[in-house]
Amino acid sequence: MLAVLTILAVAITDLIRLLQTRLTEKTVQFIQLGWWVVLTASAAIWLRPDGWAGAVAALIAAGWFYTAERMDGTTTPKRAPSPQYAWSGIGLIVIIGGFAWLDVALFPTPIPAGLMWLALALFLTQTGNRITRAVLLLSGRPIDDDGKAAGAVPASRLKGGRVIGPLERIFIMVLTVVGASHVVAALMAAKGIVRFPEISAEAKQQDPTAETGTKAEEFLVGSLASWGLAGGAGLLAWIV
């Protein structure tokens, strides 16, 4: 339950952060605080004697909110994106993996299937995009402000990546759980065949002197990070 609560806490924290385009930063922060309080109180009431798991999940979500903001850069006060905070994405995955081991070995609390699938699906949307962005930053690849998932090309016109990436991850997670590895392999191959010529051609149009291999590397790094995240979610669903 600890791993699932943490995944849910982080996922909804990232989704709430999307409201910053419509609301003031202070308002969004108050909503975030309210979500963490609700999670902590709900877990304390409904998950006895393991009610402390909600507080731990809220604490991890708060830490992720702080570090991911610095990774992306902020406008008030003005901060440029900071690659060193990208390690928080790797740290988050390690923490969730550790919590999953604790759930299996020490705290085998039954987890409602609906809650687990909801948490994983939400996690693979905005949080999945941000973790993919973190991997791209750590690899030294330039990324755009939209933070497209799955190896998006900077300044690209392929705007669908922001939607296709999360859908692709959820699809791969489900296929992993049902054991359809051949479908996953076909999906990966099809993506490479379809996207590689398009990305290469667009890179040349934007900058005739650009190295095609650089754009391909961005695509490969982002795709592997995205697929790995989806596969890990499927593995977690299968284990827990």
Q: Give tens-digit pLDDT for 29-66.
A: 899 999 999 999 999 888 877 789 999 999 999 999 98
Backbone torsions φ then ψ of 144, nearest 5 degrees: -90, 175
pLDDT at 152: 40
Q: What is the pTM of this model?
A: 0.80
Which whole number is the average pLDDT over 78-98?
Answer: 82
pLDDT at 203: 55
Question: What does the pLDDT look like over 113-141, one tens digit per residue?
Answer: 888 999 999 999 999 988 988 888 888 76
Q: Which amino acid is at 46?
A: W
What is the band of 213 on the pLDDT scale with cuts at 50, 70, 90? Answer: low
Look up tokens 């979610």; give the residue: 233
Q: CA-CA distance, 36 to 216, in Å (whole number)?
A: 40
Q: Kind and range of the H or E element at 7? A: helix 2-17
pLDDT at 96: 94
At 142, list the tokens.
């330039």
What is the band of 24 on the pLDDT scale with cuts at 50, 70, 90? Answer: confident
Terminal-to-terminal C-alpha distance of the chain? 9
Q: Is 99 exposed, middle or buried (0-12, 13-18, 19+ CB in 10 A)?
A: buried
Q: CA-CA distance, 120 to 56, in Å (whole number)?
A: 18
Backbone torsions φ then ψ of 74, nearest 5 degrees: -130, 160
8-17, 104-113, 208-217: which has the highest mean pLDDT? 8-17
At 218, list the tokens.
């961005």
Q: CA-CA distance, 185 to 152, in Å (whole number)?
A: 20
Question: What does the pLDDT look like over 145-167, one tens digit per residue?
Answer: 444 433 343 434 445 556 788 88
- Residue 75, strand partner residues: 78
Q: CA-CA distance, 102 to 1, in Å (whole number)?
A: 9
Q: What is the DSSP letter of 179?
A: T
Percent of the chain residues topping a pLDDT of 70 = 77
Burial 111-132 (b: 16+ CB within 10 A, else e): beeeebbebbbbbbbbbbbbbb
pLDDT at 81 over 70: no
Q: Which amino acid is at 91?
A: G
